[in-house]
Amino acid sequence: MKKRIGIILLCVLIAAGFYLIGYQTAKTEVPFVQQTAQTFYAEITDLNGDQFAVQGLEVNDINFRGEFTFSVTEETALLWRGTAMKLSEFDIGDSVSITFTGAVLESYPAVIQEVTRVQLLDDEK
């Protein structure tokens, strides 16, 4: 009888140990979350250094027809017809496509984080 109680107690202790090890591991590891890139079309309404203010075009989903702001970083690709551009080459009134992976802060105007690409859509530059 004492042997049986000892085996049961040992199994409970082993199970509790594995539970605690698993709990600590799950608590400290950050799960991998893949963010999907989204693209929408807009017209530039204001430029201030590396800050863009844009108005989404009517061809977009309803969620991307409003006003947005975002910052351009060193990682942001600036393109026209597959050719790299400088930030100074963009003008108010230009049509652009904006690709991003980050969050959109629900403020007014909405703030887009992690813009990966701004592509000029106009035929001539």
Q: Which amino acid would we find at residue 58?
A: E
pLDDT value for 28: 56
pTM score, whole prediction: 0.70
pLDDT > 70: what percent of the chain?
A: 83
The pLDDT confidence band at residue 124, using thresholds 50, 70 and 90, is confident
Report the relative pairing of strands 110-112 and 104-105 from DSSP bridges: antiparallel
pLDDT (0 to 100) of residue 123: 79
In 3-state terms the chain splits into helix, strand, coil percentages (rounded to 5) of 25, 35, 40
Give, in order, the Cα–Cα distances in Å from 82 to each of 71, 79, 89, 94: 21, 6, 15, 17
Q: What is the pLDDT of residue 27?
A: 55
